[in-house]
Amino acid sequence: MSEDPYVSAVVHLVDASETDRSAPVGEGGDVAAEGAAVLAGTTAAPVSQRRFAGPLEIPVPPSPHPPTRVRGYFTSAGFEVHAPMGTMFSIGAGKARFEGFFGVELVVDEERLGAPMTTGSGERDLPLQGLPDEIRRVVERITLPLPPQLPGLE
């Protein structure tokens, strides 16, 4: 068992027409500019501080494209942001980061391979109410995924 297991969640964005997907996801100078700012040390707070900051303490990166702002926001918050697929992308981090950031307890059954992960109340959706308004307007929901259905794991 690991001390702080890795957790992944899927961020579902609102309908494409509402998020202005006029530019292809992941293209443009926004991501490169953000990376350059991190390397140059000109971001709002060092990564070590952002990893422990709460949702409203994380600045929302400027971008004309809402999906890019959302991905940049979660990157700044200390989450790994994985490749987008349509109006979804996944975020990952240690269990403690998810719990501290979203303000919920996560239940991980590490003894049972393939067991679903939930919040302490048994939900699979993470709360959005603590996120900044401009992020909440673009994010429909953030879901803890069901484990894959593998033969023999029931």
Digit-coded pLDDT (tens) for 121-150: 989 999 999 999 999 999 999 999 887 766
Q: Give pTM, 2 decimals.
A: 0.72
The SS3 of residue 91 is: strand
**Considering only CA atoms, which of 80, 76, 63, 58 is closest in space to residue 25?**
63
Digit-coded pLDDT (tens) for 109-121: 767 666 678 899 9
